[in-house]
Amino acid sequence: MDEARLVTHLSGKRVVLGVTGSIAAYKAVSVLRALRCAGATVSVVMTKAATKFVTPRTFEVLSGERVVTDLFDAHEPMAHLTIPERADVVLVAPATANFLAKAALGLADDVLTTMLLSARCPVIVAPAMDGDMWTHPPVVQHVQTLRSRGVVVLDPEVGPLASGQIAQGRLSEEPKIVAAVDSAMASRCDWQNQVVLVSAGPTQEPIDPVRFLSNRSSGKMGYAIAAAAKARGAEVILVSGPSSLSPEPGITTVRVNTAAEMADALFRHFPTCTVLIMAAAVADFRPKESFAQKVKKQGKTDMVLELEATPDILAMLSARRTSQIMVGFAAETEHILSHATDKLNAKGLDLIVANDVTQTGGGGFGSDDNAAIILSARGEQRDLGLMSKRRLADEILTAVHELCLVRPCQKVLVQ
C-alpha cells in the first residue's frame, strides 16, 4: 500500500496502543509490529474484554514492555497518568462501540479510558464493529463528538465482517492506521534539523576522595527536555551531571561530575549545536583545594573550607556563540523575576526559564512537577502553571520554537 512508504516520523516516538474487546483485536498485533518496525516504542494498554480475544503475553513479547490491563495495577499504581505523560501519540485499535461511547462521554472506569482523560498528545482511534453497530445513532454521535474534540477517528472499511454481513465496520488496514499515526507525528516534528545541546543534573565538586559539594538537582528537568526535543525530531546531546536517570534511546549522553568537566563537554559540543538549553545546576563554588586523601576528624572541632568560583559556563559560551539560540534556567528562592531578568541580560540569553525552587505543592528539585515562567530577551513573559516536567519541557520547546527558531531573537552579546 502507498501509505507504507510515507512512514518517516515514527522513529524514536512512543506510541500507546490501546486494544479493546473487538473480534479484530488480533489485528492489533500486526499494527504493533509495524509501529515497532518504523522505529517507535510501543506501550500496550488492554481493556478486560480485549484480553478475552488476545492474551497480554502476545503484546508483551512483541512490544518488549509490560502490558497494563488493570487500573489498579500493583506494579504501576499511577499507570493512567504516567503512561500518557510519556506518550507522543495514543492509538486505540481496534476501538469498540463501547469504547467510543465512554471516550465521548469522558467516562473513566478502566485504565484505557482514564488514561485518555490525561493524555495531552494526539489521539487516533480505529473503530471495528458490525455494520449495524457502526451506523447506530449513538455510535454516529459519539464519533462526531470525538472528532469535534480533535480525535482522529478512522472510518472503518467496507467488507466481509465476522457476522457474515458485508458492510462498513472492518478495522482499517494496518498501513492506513500506521500512516495516520505517522502523519500525526509529522506535525509534531517541528524540531527537525535542530541540534540541541542540553545540560542536566548537579555537579559534584570534590573535597577529598570521598566527599564533595553538590546540590539537590535530580536532572529530571534536563532529561525531560532532552526526551521532548528528541521526540520532536531534534538531534540531542545531553551533558549530564551525576543522576540516577537514564536517557531515552537515541540521545547522545556525556556523563560528567564536576563543573569543569561540564564546561569541557559543553565547549566541545557547542560549536555544532543550534540550540543550547542549560538546565544543569552547576556549582557556583568549589573547594580551592581537593585533598588527595580522606580528611580525618582526629580531634578537630571545626574546619574551614576555602572555596573559589567555578567558571561561568554560560557567559563563556555566550562569548563563543555564532548563531546558537541560548536558553538558561534560573532556579531561585526569592525575587524570582528580577533575578531571572538579571541573568537573562547578563548572560546574553534568548530565553530564561525561571522557577521558584522553594514552592510547596510539588515543584522544584527532585519533584516530577514544576511551575515556571519563561522570559525572553524581547521582554515577553509566559507564566506556565504547575505541570509535569515532561509537559513543561514541551511548553519550553514550543516557546523556544515560536520566539526564537521561527522569529530569530536579537543576539545580545556579553561584553
Ligand X SMILES: Cc1cc2nc3c(=O)[nH]c(=O)nc-3n(C[C@H](O)[C@H](O)[C@H](O)COP(=O)(O)O)c2cc1C
Residues within the interface to ligand X (CB under 6 A): 20-24, 47, 49-50, 96-99, 128-129, 133
Catalytic residue among 98, 215, 355, 370: 215
> At closest approach, how far in Å is the CB of 136 from ligand X?
10
| Residue 215 falls in the annotated catalytic set | yes
| Contact status, residue 39 vs residue 185, Cβ threshold 8 Å | no
Whichever of 29 and 384 has its CB closer to ligand X, that residue is 29
Place of cell 570521598: 210
> At closest approach, how far in Å is the CB of 401 from ligand X?
38
Whichever of 20 and 324 has its CB closer to ligand X, that residue is 20
Could you give the CA distance from residue 279 to residue 331 in angstroms, rounded to a whole number? 9
> At closest approach, how far in Å is the CB of 45 from ligand X?
11
Whichever of 57 and 320 has its CB closer to ligand X, that residue is 57
With 0-12 CB in 10 A as exposed, 13-18 as middle and 19+ as buried, what is 266? buried
> At closest approach, how far in Å is the CB of 129 from ligand X?
4
Whichever of 97 and 154 has its CB closer to ligand X, that residue is 97
Distances from the Cα of 403 to the Cα of 238, 329, 376, 410, angstroms? 23, 16, 8, 10
DSSP-assigned letters across all residues of 338-375:
HHHHHHHHHTT-SEEEEEETT-TTT-STT-SEEEEEEE
| Contact status, residue 125 vs residue 146, Cβ threshold 8 Å | yes
- The phi and psi torsions of 25 (rounded to 5 degrees) equal -60, -30
Could you give the CA distance from residue 19 to residue 99 in angstroms, rounded to a whole number? 10
The helix (run of H) or strand (run of E) holding residue 181 is helix 174-186
Whichever of 68 and 278 has its CB closer to ligand X, that residue is 68
Bond before 247 cis per omega within 30 degrees: no
> At closest approach, how far in Å is the CB of 127 from ligand X?
7
| Contact status, residue 247 vs residue 227, Cβ threshold 8 Å | yes
| Contact status, residue 180 vs residue 154, Cβ threshold 8 Å | yes
Whichever of 122 and 127 has its CB closer to ligand X, that residue is 127
Query: Amino acid letter at 72?
Result: F
Whichever of 18 and 233 has its CB closer to ligand X, that residue is 18
> At closest approach, how far in Å is the CB of 374 from ligand X?
41
The alpha carbons of the chain give a radius of gyration, in whole angstroms, of 25
Could you give the CA distance from residue 394 to residue 121 in angstroms, rounded to a whole number? 11
> At closest approach, how far in Å is the CB of 79 from ligand X?
16
Q: What residues are annotated to the active site? A: 215
